[in-house]
Chain A
Amino acid sequence: MIKNTNKLSFLLKWEWMLVALLILINIMNASLSPYYLEYNNMMSAIMAFLDRSFMVLPMAIIIIMGDIDISVASTVALSSVMMGVSVQNGVPMTVAILICMATATLCGFINGLIVTKFKELSAAIVTISTMILYRGIAYIILEDQAASGFPLWFSILGWGDIGTIPLILIVFIAFSVIFWLILHKTTAGRQILAIGQNNTASIYSGINVDKMRLFAFTAAGFMAGITALFLTSKMASTRPNIAIGYELEVIAMVVLGGVSTSGGKGKIHSVILAIFVIGLLKYGLGIINIHSQIVTIIIGLLLIFSTLLPSIGQRVMSKLKIIRQMNL
């Protein structure tokens, strides 16, 4: 009896639900289009959604700690605009890339600084105001213009391959491994989970909570910079209104990845699965010409039900437990 429930709870693990969902979506997509399973098609599908996925990794860590960062998409816009303007004014591309990364990291660092220096403020309100501020600065710099004129080699970043594997996928895998190691194999990772479980207890047990939060927000800024690089490279131009709404998509991916929004729980690999679930779902629905607005309904419902399920599951489990105890 006990063994049986253990098996059941193993299958009920969120990762396996996501794997099942992913297989289902792939079967659906493959039956919709005979070309879907071709290698090149698969890669172009993956390339289409990976740019914003870089931000999912640090966002998972931030949400695990019980915070949230709504300003990431604005950070993408600001750093991309900074890079575009630098290039337009004759700055060499390599320096412009550094400027982009520095801007993004600074944006994240400022978020982290405000959040840790003014603990009375929730991360939500701080990042909502910096969201408006950062995109506002991007608008001041570029107004309603677009910046372009990037050198040809810059487009390799977004479109290039190494061998037959897209560059963006390789970079994404590298960052995924780094974040997976940080969260699951280092002391810092254990500390992040501890902070999410109980902030006060973590402070008393000697964890430098401020340092960890500052690190997480700065990492979010840095990864937003990486997103900005790939996105700008793919579009070959930039505007202040790029990446609008990405923050919500990123948060949706994290939540669908089974990260507990009240903090303390989450796994990088299930978050990565969630990225592919949403990305491939969108791609598949795109194949059969379903408008992107209707896809948002499906993502919204996925988001609601994926968070509703654990609480329903818990309720059912506890009821089962009571019944079992009564039988004993």
Chain B
Amino acid sequence: MEKLLKKKNNIQLDQFRELGLLLFIIIISIMVQIRNPSFLTGENINDLLKNTAILSILSVGMMLVLVTRGIDLSIAANMAFSGMLASIIVRDFPQIHPVLIMLIGISAGTLSGFINGLLISKGKILPIIATLGMMYVLRGSTFLISKGQWVSAYQFTDGFKKMATGTNWGINNLILIAVAVYALAYYFINHTRTGRRIYATGSNPDSAKISGINTDRMVILVYSIMGMLSGLTGVLWMARFASAQSDSAMGYEMNVIAACVLGGVSMSGGSGKVGGILLGSLLFGILNNTLPLINVSPFWQNAIQGAVILLAVIANVLAKRGMTKRNLNRRDR
């Protein structure tokens, strides 16, 4: 009975969090719409989703990493590396099919992620340190393979650029890819044994191990998925902006972590929902998209983002405390 009660309250908290986020998004949208009626037009929403697609794809991987009590600081460097690799191949061998090139980028990303996982699970290095080291190595390697040169717009083939800028059924490819990633992630996390095992590993590694889960393998898997998504988005990033530099996507890892935290993923592991991070990345995207629309100087963007994240995590803690207090009171009665 007690267990049932606890479960019910947990559901309440999760729902509260997502509803709160949704409410926040709606309030912001209404406020912006009043200031500038061009916000809720089809074109702008399309833009908004297009800009949020890469962030939201990465959030899926980052959520899984955070669920296993880890963190991955190397994703932006990984994106730059895989994207640069793909861009160089496009430049030097324009006849290769874009999809094949994308697969090369994805494999490069997956390999880097796999190494991360190996260092963390078998090498027993703290995730923040291992991925920090990896970040350095990948940034440097990006410079090394590009010899410090850019790959510019004219060196990309149209087919390659079309991967990110083209449309299918009237919808931008980036949005379609993001939707596909989310559908797959939802199924994987909630309806496969491996998906549930990842959560078990995160919420209590010791008991997961005792109950026969190969936690090392789960950690490697999670970082490989993160690497795979970084490779994918790295290629898409280069295709979208039609320019590959060794400092592409610098600092983007913090945006992704922030979107996850906004979406209610706990940094202490074991909890995080696909719906939450979708809303989290959407809110992050809206913050980026709307500030220019309501004539806020772009220089305010960082501070507003930082403040929103800080307030969101603190509000989350306060809500959780309130919930626990109420539950305790109820039990006393």
A132 within 8 A of B: yes
Q: Mark B83-127, 1 if CB is under 8 A from A, else 0.
A: 000000000000000000000000000000000000100011110
Please state if A131 and B303 are interface contacts (CB–CB under 8 Å): no
Nearest opposing residue in chain A for B74, CB measure: A300
Binds B, one of A30-38, A196-204, A223-231, A302-310: A302-310
- CB pair B141 A304 closer than 8 Å: no
Q: Are A304 and B130 within 8 A (Cβ)?
A: yes
- A180 nearest CB across to chain B (Å): 24
A83 to chain B, nearest CB (A): 19
B310 neighbours in A (Cβ, 8 Å): 114, 126, 129-130, 133
* B312 nearest CB neighbor, chain A only: A129
Residues of chain A within 8 A (CB-CB) of B246 are: 293
> Which residues of chain B from 125 to 140 have a CB within 8 Å of any chain A CB?
125-126, 128-130, 132-140
Q: Is the CB of A300 within 8 A of B140?
A: yes
Hey, which chain B residues are within 8 Å of A124, CB to CB? Answer: 71, 128, 267
Q: How far is the CB of B46 from chain A (nearest CB, A)?
A: 27
SS of B interface (majority): helix
The winner among B119, B138, B303, B304 for most chain A CB atoms within 10 A is B303
Which residue of B137, B254, B261 is within 8 Å of A300 (Cβ)?
B137
Q: Decide: B306 and A132 in contact? CB cutoff 8 A.
A: yes
Contact between A251 and B140 (Cβ–Cβ < 8 Å)? no
Binds B, one of A48-56, A134-142, A156-164, A316-324: A134-142
**14 A–B pairs (Cβ distance < 8 Å), ordered by A:** A114-B310, A122-B267, A124-B267, A129-B261, A133-B307, A293-B143, A293-B144, A294-B144, A300-B137, A300-B139, A303-B129, A304-B125, A304-B129, A311-B124
Q: Does A173 contact B (CB under 8 A)?
A: no
Q: How far is the CB of A22 from chain B (nearest CB, A)?
A: 20
Q: Are B140 and A139 in contact (CB under 8 A)?
A: no
Q: Is A125 an interface residue (CB 8 A)?
A: yes
Contact at A297–B132, with CB atoms within 8 Å? no
A301 at the interface (CB under 8 A from B): yes
Asked if A252 CB lies within 8 Å of chain B CBs, one says yes
A312 nearest CB across to chain B (Å):
8
List CB contacts (< 8 Å) of B295-320 with chain A.
297, 299-307, 309-310, 313-314, 317, 320
A251 touches B305 (CB 8 A): no
Whether B132 pairs with A252 at a CB distance below 8 angstroms is: yes
Whether B302 lies near A139 (C-beta < 8 A) is yes
**Interface residue? A11 (CB, 8 A):** no
- Starting from the known contacts A125-B261, A128-B309, 6 additional A-B residue pairs (CB-CB under 8 Å) come to A133-B310, A135-B302, A261-B125, A300-B140, A307-B123, A311-B123
Q: B317 contacts which chain A residues (CB < 8 A)?
A: 118, 120-121
For B297, the closest partner residue in chain A by CB is: A143
Contacts of A297 in B (CB 8 A): 136-137, 140-141, 144
Give A216 to B253 CA distance when docked, in angstroms.
26
Question: Does A46 belong to the interface (CB within 8 Å)?
Answer: no
B63 within 8 A of A: no
Q: Which residues of A contact B73 (CB under 8 A)?
A: 248
Contact code string B220-239 (vs A, CB < 8 Å = 1, else 0): 00000000000000000000
Min CB distance A299 to B, Å, is 5
The docked-state distance in angstroms from the alpha carbon of A136 to that of B305 is 8
Question: Which residues from chain A contact B257 at a C-beta distance below 8 Å?
Answer: 125, 128
A261 lies within 8 A of B126 (CB): yes
Other-chain residue from A120, A143, A291 in contact with B320 (beta carbon distance below 8 A): A120
User: In the complex, which range does the number of interface residues on chain A fall in?
Assistant: 35 or more
Residues of B within 8 A of A (CB): 71, 73, 119, 123-126, 128-130, 132-144, 148, 246, 254, 257-258, 261, 267-268, 297, 299-307, 309-310, 313-314, 317, 320
- Nearest B residue to A308, CB-CB: B123
Give chain A interface residues in 252-266, CB to chain B under 8 Å.
Answer: 252, 255, 261-262
In the complex, the answer to whether A125 meets B134 with C-beta atoms within 8 Å is no
If the complex has contacts A114-B314, A297-B140, are A131 and B306 also in contact, measured as CB distance less than 8 A? yes
- Chain A residues lying within 8 Å of B304, measured Cβ to Cβ, are 136
Q: State whether B300 touches A140 (Cβ < 8 A).
A: yes
* A262 and chain B: residue at smallest CB distance: B126
Pick the contact of A304: B71, B119, B148 (CB < 8 A): B119
A32 to B257, CA, bound (A): 43
Query: Is A68 positioned at the interface, with any CB of B under 8 Å from its CB?
Result: yes
Cβ of A296 within 8 Å of any chain B Cβ, yes or no, is yes
**Closest 10 interchain pairs by CB?**
A300-B136, A136-B303, A133-B306, A136-B302, A297-B140, A132-B306, A293-B143, A303-B133, A300-B137, A304-B133
B306 neighbours in A (Cβ, 8 Å): 129-136
Which residue on chain B has the smallest CB distance to residue A304? B133
B303 touches A261 (CB 8 A): no
Residues of B within 8 A of A125 (CB): 257, 261, 267, 313
Complex interface: chain B residues within 8 A of A307 (CB)? 123, 125-126, 129-130, 133
Q: Does A93 contact B (CB under 8 A)?
A: no
Closest B-chain residue to A139, C-beta based? Answer: B299
Contact A132 B258, beta carbon cutoff 8 Å: yes
Residues of B near A295 (CB, < 8 A) are 140
Do the beta carbons of A136 and B301 come within 8 Å of each other?
yes
Complex Cα spacing A291 to B146, Å? 13
A242 to chain B, nearest CB (A): 15
Residue among B124, B139, B141 with most chain A CB within 10 A: B124
Measured between alpha carbons, how far is A295 from B142 in the docked complex, in Å?
Answer: 12
Give chain B nearest CB distance to A184 CB in angstroms.
24
- Residue of B140, B297, B307 with highest tally of chain A CB at under 10 A: B140
What's the Cα separation between A297 and B134 when bound, in Å?
9
The reply to whether B134 and A304 form a contact with Cβ atoms under 8 Å apart is: yes
Rounded to whole Å, the gap between the CB of B287 and the closest CB of chain A is 11
- In the complex formed, the residue of A with least CB distance to B132 is A248
A120 to B302, CA, bound (A): 25
Q: Which residues of B contact A255 (CB under 8 A)?
A: 129
Cα–Cα distance between A5 and B126 once the two chains are bound (Å): 28
Q: Which residues of A contact B123 (CB under 8 A)?
A: 307-308, 311-312
